[in-house]
Structure 1
Amino acid sequence: MSRRSLHFPAPDAATLRARIDRARSATADAATDALLIGPGSDLRYVIGQAGGSFERLSVLLVPATDAAPTLVVPALEAPGFADVPTGELGVEVVTWVDGEDPYRIVADRLGNPGRVAVSDTMAALHVLRLRDAMAGAEQTLAGPVLRHLRMCKDAAELAALRRAAEAIDRVHARIGEWLRPGRTEAEVGADIAEAIVEEGHTHADFVIVGSGPNGASPHHDVSDRVIEKGDVVVVDIGGPIPEGYNSDSTRTYVLGQPDPKVAEEYAVLQRAQETAVRAVRPGVTAHEVDAAARDILTEAGLGELFIHRTGHGIGLDVHEDPYIVSGNDLPLQPGMVFSIEPGIYRAGQWGARIEDIVVVTADGVEPLNTRPHDLTVLPDDDA
């Protein structure tokens, strides 16, 4: 059986053709003979469809020359690409059936390449057999070529990301409907997942409800832990809207009035997050934005409790370039979209995180999430 990704409305043919042309140019600039793009978000970005089978080889060949791109797909998977305007895109479709060697088909189409770039997430079973079929070709990753095409979003992408942010904000506005003492994290998470769909997503990609000590684990999921009075609760949620672009937002809640020490440290976290957002503008590096948040926490003696990067890019993937992390000297450019999400985590006790998605504008920053950043106090009764 094949694993099919959800089908999302695709950009128009002119947009996709422009993306293919940019991919071709980027391939040539990288001194690479061809891109080999397998199923996933890169393929969705270039032709509007993420692809079908991961067991059988499906791959888009984008030569650095003017030769036509070729979509090599199993015959039984071809109907899944029926909506791709291959004619308008100048893409030739070549199908194969079980018993044929699709890796040889790829090698024959490319001739004798010296260097090819394969999708970062292509399964090893395909990468290694492509290497065998093109023994003279050096294999590199396609990510360094494609990430520069995907990092700066166009107007339609930004509009979709705004809609995604608005949808997840509506879910956060409803957290008080479900989060209360006496319920388990899993019960609350199930209600949130349902609301994520109700508010405009195709599905919930992730739901983190980290109550009490579980909040100190940044990638906690949900558990059977019963939420108690006084708990600090981290709620990190997101998913794709029909266009395929994702939301991701975190807010921190407390059941009843917070302990004074919690309130004091949370106030520092809030200042760190706001400072990092204000630091975003064209020309500033990702490293500098990370430092803007990290320095505030370090000065308050909380730096060792901030154990992850400040942010990640978002688009067709929840996590993509650019990464807002120490050491990344990438200068920010208008159209880049990423999270700003510093956190503090006291192991065995509690945690807190504040996360907004922001866009680099021509002269600054536009936060897409607009829910309040304060530590949200919810009733501590279980009625």
Structure 2
Amino acid sequence: MPRPSASETWEASVTEHVPYVVVGAGAMGLATTWQLARRGRRVVALERFERGHTRGASHGATRNFNNAYGAAHYLDLLTLARAEWDELSRATGEPLLRLHGLVTHGDDAVVADVHRALVARGERAEVLAAHEAARRWSGMRFTDDVLFTPDAGVVRASAALDALEHGARSHGADVRFGHRVVSLDERADGVALTVDVDGERHDLVAETVVVTSGAWTPGILPASFPLPRLTVTEESPAHFTPTAPDARWPSFNHLLSPQRYPANVYGMPTPGEGVKVGFHLVGPVVDPDARSFRPVPAQAAQLRDYVAEWFPGLDADSAEPISCTYTSTDSQDFLLDRRGRIVVGAGFSGHGFKFTPAVGSVLADLATDDGFRAAEPFRLP
């Protein structure tokens, strides 16, 4: 009987077998890892970059905790997210939500529809006239009805990543940075992964894999996986300096007609950095490994003009640009589904962070129960 070669013996000896592997340890991956670990599951999370990197969509101090949704599947997910953010805060001792309120304006019909949807679910929401909103928030200008939701605000994004990792590790999860998955292949006995760690190969076999790799998702999933189109764009919001230090700032959504500005606007106060303002989903399509990390000059000029027109309390010439990626589906709905032994969470389309721990819960349900299904709009076609 022929003896195995040295390389065959080495590969057999280093293959690691684990029940659950999460590929990608940004916000959604860490949330999934936390949710699996707190359920008593043995889970390994693999992240190709270093902790706190700025190449994806999870970095930064704040994200909008925006509850101005009218669709039931998002409101259901938001209810779960609020409960899970609170649980994570209790478990780690880290306050993660700052609820200073949210204003949504620019389209009276949308304002009325979202107001009805929130009130029907028992959420606090009121519609203000433009002059009343301007009195409350003197740094902003309003010309239409304004929806105010006091139980909204921001998620402390960087703190949330730390809390999710700490929470996952406290339940026994193994989170590995600098581990790049170079191949993923579903087999009858599990999912085989090849991982590069500083130029060395490591092999793992998992019973179930959850892929939460953001812009890199299409390059990780097998070619046979029925992934719909995901478009990666580089977005460039900016922080602007307030001119009145005592002004009150809510988070905000401004629904704009396309005649003058390219898209709707979102933003929020970020202590120590100013007020974040950005157009939603206007950036150029990019390769996530070949980004400029610089704003498109024409779009930066439009953002400056927008701030000058609508924010009397901000210095329009003080922009400090931020670079991040959106990975978007055509519908801008999330993708949360399973095929075989592979679960995917992707396509968060620039509005996913507020839902992070709830997305982690749904993905953990999909990973541990092959009969579970997410809400219909989140499913694979």
Instruction: Report the TM range for the smaller structure's normalisation.
Output: under 0.3
Q: TM-score, normalised by structure 1?
A: 0.23
Larger Rg: 1
More strand by share: 2
Q: TM-score, normalised by structure 2?
A: 0.23
More helix by share: 1
Q: Which has the higher contact order (CA 8 A, sep 6+)?
A: 2
